[in-house]
Amino acid sequence: MPAIVLASASPRRAELLGQLGVTFSVAPADIDETPLNGESPRDYVIRMAEEKARVCFQRLGGGKTVIGSDTSVVLGDRILGKPADPDDAREMLRALSGRSHQVMTAVAVVKDGWADSTLVITDVHFRVLAADEVDAYVETGESLDKAGSYGIQGRGGVFVDRIEGSYSAVVGLPLTETAKLLQSAGFPVWQMWQGAGQGSR
Ligand SMILES: Cc1cn([C@H]2C[C@H](O)[C@@H](COP(=O)(O)OP(=O)(O)OP(=O)(O)O)O2)c(=O)[nH]c1=O
C-alpha cells in the first residue's frame, strides 16, 4: 500500500490527486456530516476534512499520510451539501440562480505526530437559470452526489458566469494547496515526478 492514502469516495478527488502525479491508495472514511449547532460554514468544512483524514488514519493504524477533504457550497450563512433527493436539488439550484455563492473546500493531511489543514474559498457566480433547464439538469442525475447540486466540471458548467478563486477547489481538491500540504508532510510532489514519466500515478 502506498504511503499516501486519500480518505475519499469522490472520483473527482482521486482524479485531481492523480493529476499531481502522486502515488496513492484510496480508503474512504464514513463520518457523520451533520453541522454542529451554531457552527460556521468555515469551521464545519475544516472539521469535516480533518475528521475524514483522522478517522481513516486511525483505522489504518498509523504509519500512513492521509488526505481528507470536504466541499460545501455556502449561500449567505446556509451550508448546501449534497442534495437529499431531486426536489432538494431543484430547490438548491433555484436558490443559486442569478447570484454569487462561495464554494468552501478544506484539505487536511494527517500523519504520525503531525497534522495540518487549509481552507480554500472560491466565489462562483451563476447566471439566471430557467425553470426548464433546472428540471432538465436534475433529470441528468449529475446533481445528486455534488455539494450545491451542480458540477462545474460537467453540464453544470453552463450555469457559471465566472469564478474567482480555485477551479480545482470547486471540483473537490485544490491542487496548489494540496501540493503545499504534501510538501510540509515530507512529500514534495515534484520529487515524485522525477523519472516517473508522463501520466504516471
Ligand atoms: C460544487 C461542486 C462540488 N462537487 C463535488 C465534490 C465532492 O465530491 C462533492 C461534495 O461532497 P463531499 O462531502 O465534500 O465529498 P464526497 O462525499 O463526494 O466524498 P468524500 O467525503 O468521501 O471525500 O461535490 C463537484 O464535483 N463539482 C462542483 O462543482
* Model confidence pLDDT, tens digit, residues 129-161: 999 999 999 999 999 999 999 999 999 999 999
Q: Give the ligand 1 atom nearest the CA of 124.
A: 1
The active-site residue, picked from 30, 32, 43, 70, is 70
Pick the residue whose CA is nearest to atom 16 on ligand 1.
Answer: 10
Is residue 58 domain-resident? yes
Q: Which residue has the higher pLDDT, 1 or 83?
A: 83
CATH number for position 77: 3.90.950.10
Q: Which residue has the higher pLDDT, 100 or 198?
A: 100
- Length reported for the chain: 201
Using a pLDDT cut of 90, give the percent of the chain over it: 93
Is residue 201 domain-resident? no
Is residue 198 domain-resident? no
**In the block, which residue shows the cell 499531481?**
20
How many angstroms does the Cα of residue 147 sit away from the middle of ligand 1? 6
The mean per-residue pLDDT over the stretch 90-108 comes to 98
Its domain, for residue 183, covers 4-193
65-75 and 78-80 beta bridge pairing: antiparallel
pLDDT value at 194 more than 90: no
The mean per-residue pLDDT over the stretch 9-22 comes to 96
Q: Rounded mean pLDDT of the chain?
A: 95
The mean per-residue pLDDT over the stretch 107-112 comes to 98
Pick the residue whose CA is nearest to atom 5 on ligand 1.
Answer: 146
Q: 180 burial class (0-12, 13-18, 19+ CB within 10 angstroms)?
A: middle
- Does the active-site annotation cover 70? yes
pLDDT at 135: 98
Pick the residue whose CA is nearest to atom 23 on ligand 1.
Answer: 8
pLDDT at 167: 98
pLDDT at 201: 47
Q: Residue 106: name the closest of 127, 143, 79 by CA.
A: 79
* Reported ipTM exceeds the 0.90 cut: yes
Give whole-number Cα distances, 36 to 5, 33, 99, 140, 146, in Å: 27, 9, 27, 32, 21
pLDDT value at 198 more than 70: no
How many angstroms does the Cα of residue 191 sit away from the middle of ligand 1? 28
Q: Specify the pTM.
A: 0.95
Residues 39/46, Cβ–Cβ less than 8 Å: no
Residues 146, 150, 152, 155, Cα dihedral to 10°: 120
| Candidate of 71, 145, 149, 168 to mutate for ligand 1, largest count of ligand atoms within 8 Å of Cβ | 71
Is residue 66 domain-resident? yes
pLDDT at 111: 97
> How many Cα atoms within 13 Å fall on the side-chain side of residue 159?
31
Residues 22-66: tens digit of each pLDDT? 999 999 999 999 999 999 999 999 999 999 999 999 999 989 999
pLDDT at 7: 98
pLDDT value at 124 more than 80: yes
Residue type, 110: V
Q: Residue 60: name the closest of 35, 24, 85, 89 by CA.
A: 24
Q: Give the ligand 1 atom nearest the CA of 70.
A: 14
Alpha-carbon gap, residue 95 to 199, rounded angstroms = 40
Is residue 83 domain-resident? yes
Count how many domains the chain has. Answer: 1
